[in-house]
Chains A and B, each alone.
Chain A
Amino acid sequence: MSTTAPRTHFFSTGLRRALSSRIAATLAYPHGVDRYVEHFAPTFSLNEVRAVVTAIRYQTDDSVTMTLRPNGNWQGFRAGQYVRLTVEINGVRRTRCYSPANSVHATDGLIELTAKAHAGGFVSKHLQQDLQVGTTVGLSQAEGSFALPETRPSRVLLISGGSGITPVMAMLRTLCDEGHAGQITFLHYSNAAKDQIYAAELAEIAAKHSNVQLLRGYVEADQGGELSGLFGRAHLNDAVPDYAEAQTFLCGPPGMMKAVQQLWADEGIAGRLHLEHFSAAPVVIDSANAEGEVRFTRSERLAKNNGGSLLDQAEAAGLKPESGCRMGICHACTCRKTAGRVRDTRTGEISDAGESDIQICISVPVGTVTLDL
């Protein structure tokens, strides 16, 4: 931050106070102050977290690393947590989760996200191919219980695979910034050296901090890692014999996570394993057969999907959602779907699995669906 910071700060808090006053609210009624100010300052908001993309770099062929400057509403995060990032693609807002990879002690106030561009991935491909510096994006506050505990464990084992490196990278960087005295082992798996994100940073950290042990495992041969092949007990026995004493933080592809979880469970040390899943098991779309369940989060109810419209199913579950025409005209029944896919009964179109608003009178669940109702 530069020397002008105190003055700007004084000015901006004064302005902020004025804008959040009741008078400002009445003058801007019914649209609200944000809806006027955002035309000059797109990242400004009285309550919402928004951020501007300040830098973009490409560590590997199939990833993108974005630096974001959040507005003043951002309350920071605990190393390991994630944020919900909202970007607009062809006029439609899409929300996906990403885990900041930076240290929580970074003094520049920036957030660093790295996304792996999945081949058929709608948002991750967009981030990699089309995102521009200067774009305003939406953020949630940090969420999730996968995080370094407030009292740092002395022995830490971080295990990650592929893009699952991001939350544990935040943990490693945070611990190093704190001058953590205990032993830290960073065990990371990727397909090949050229696909590994944060490769240079990891090497640098390991060289600088004698308590950091870096173990890189590559699936492909001759990649120069400390380990080779997929995760297995042998890797632990050879390189991390004291793994049972450590607090272990794990994030990676489903197969790898299952293998680690199994081993920890077999040894009865599952209590020392903390994990984060990036993706749920893929849904098989079979619109003919009703499968899965409908979860109504606000009213905390659960119903077996019977293949009917979500409005009918909600009513059958004893809820009273708003409705009107029941034929897709009036939008009275619009409600937030937080997860799962639905089929539009008029067009047969199947939605994506992310968060979006749907008209429940013309939406039939395809597999398990979660509604904010």
Chain B
Amino acid sequence: MTAITKNTFSSLTPAQFAAIGNEFDAIRNRMRADLGERDAKYIRTMIKRQRQFEVAGRVMMMIPPVWPAGVAALSVSKILDNMEIGHNVMHGQYDWMGDPSLNSKNFEWDSADTSKNWKITHNYEHHTYTNVLNKDHDIGYGLLRMSTDQKWEPRFLANLPLTVLLHTFFQHFVAVQNLKLEEVMIYKTKTPAQLKEEFKPVWKKMRKQLAKDYVLFPLLAGPMAPMVFAGNVLANLARNVWACAVIFNGHFPEDVEQFPESVIENETRGQWYVRQLLGSANFSGGKLMHIMSGNLSFQIEHHLFPDIPAHRYAEIAPEVRAICDKHGLPYKTGSFASQTLSTWKRIAKLSLPSGKSGKVSPRMANEKAATPMALAA
């Protein structure tokens, strides 16, 4: 290989974008053609394990000496259900199987959020407009300031405590994310009546989830009801904190880039790929870490190939890295701890007004996009 020149989003030529697009497309097509029995077996085994953990966890919670094991098992079950199974199935990673129970259209997960709303905010908005300001609602969830290009407001002084709150009640935040509460509470672009209507299906789902975890299973436990109630609180909390941490690590470490809206005008396939690449970060870990994070530890691969079964990302990663090296593009990764630290540092810094904040001028859009924004602060 020749000497590697460092490239940025704005330094790449159209020909380079096209080449990168073709190289990623080739990986994607090869993977899709290879899908089969192995992938079907993988996801079904994962589901079987999740069911085993769930049933074992719920039973053990009713038996005092093994209560802690019960809480642990149900936490694992909920994490598997939401991440390696729910998130991935709802991405359509297993649609090709033609199995209605593994189809993105039908799948519902063990979370307060309705699959329908989640697929809009996540599959469509977040994955299509990844890290594009004002388009990707996952940038701060309408709650936090995650970029210098978000104008500072006094409410952002609470960036840190709000992040803690977001981790704690993650499933419920995600559930109301599609309602865009800030449009009612702060910007007044949505009426309370509209909000009420949109909340109906969400409340229906929440109610069922609450009834199951906090009424029916405790009742079933008779005298152990309070312990089962508490156990379910803890299992939900464990899943909330873990899921939120994994997701934050995927997009908010300090060197991950954000983009102004202008980049998506007439964006080519190659540019889309590069934006996904620059807007995501991985974290390293063992097999268990990858499974428990729904393979979102390979956030970069996931954003490049959102509908390829996630257990394949580990196989693709070396090739993706090679393409990055070849074109002088960064492949951002680090340990779970370092990525978490970096994310919290960014959140802390952005709670304060920064000198360089303000609008991205459209003409400067490309240059600006190429600079890691948080570091510019």
Q: Which residues of A contact B (CB under 8 A)?
A: 23, 26-27, 29-31, 34-36, 39, 88, 90-95, 324-325, 327-332, 334, 346-347, 355-357, 359
Contacts and interface: CB of A to CB of B under 8 A. Distances in A.
A334 B95 contact: yes
A347 B99 CA distance: 23
B124 A36 contact: no
Nearest to B267: A327
A91 B104 contact: no
B39 A91 contact: yes
Given A36-B51, A91-B38, A334-B92, A324 B208 contact: no
> Can you list the 7 inter-chain pairs with the closest CB atoms, starting with the nearest?
A331-B92, A324-B124, A91-B40, A30-B108, A93-B98, A330-B123, A90-B36
A31 B92 contact: no
Contact of A331 (B55, B95, B98, B220): B95
17 contacts: A26-B208, A27-B216, A30-B208, A36-B55, A88-B97, A95-B98, A324-B120, A325-B123, A329-B128, A330-B92, A331-B91, A331-B92, A331-B95, A332-B123, A357-B98, A357-B105, A359-B95
B29 interface: yes
A35 B119 contact: no
B25 A346 contact: yes
A88 B208 contact: no
Nearest to B105: A334
Nearest to B42: A91
A24 B218 CA distance: 14
Nearest to B39: A91
B168 interface: no
A334 B104 contact: yes
A79 B124 CA distance: 48
Contacts of B262: none
B258 to A, nearest CB: 19
Contacts, number: 104
Interface string B2-43: 000000000000000000000001000100100111111100
Given A26-B211, A92-B98, A324-B128, A330 B108 contact: no
B103 A357 contact: yes
B366 interface: no
B262 to A, nearest CB: 19
Given A329-B128, A331-B92, A334-B105, A324 B123 contact: yes
Given A26-B211, A29-B212, A331-B104, A88 B40 contact: yes
Nearest to A347: B29
Interface in B96-116: 96-99, 101, 103-105, 108-110
Contacts of B120: 324, 332
Contact of A30 (B37, B38, B109): B109
B120 to A, nearest CB: 7
Contacts of A39: 48, 51
Interface in B210-247: 211-212, 216-217, 220
Given A30-B109, A347-B29, A91 B35 contact: yes
B127 interface: yes
Contact of B37 (A90, A332, A357): A90
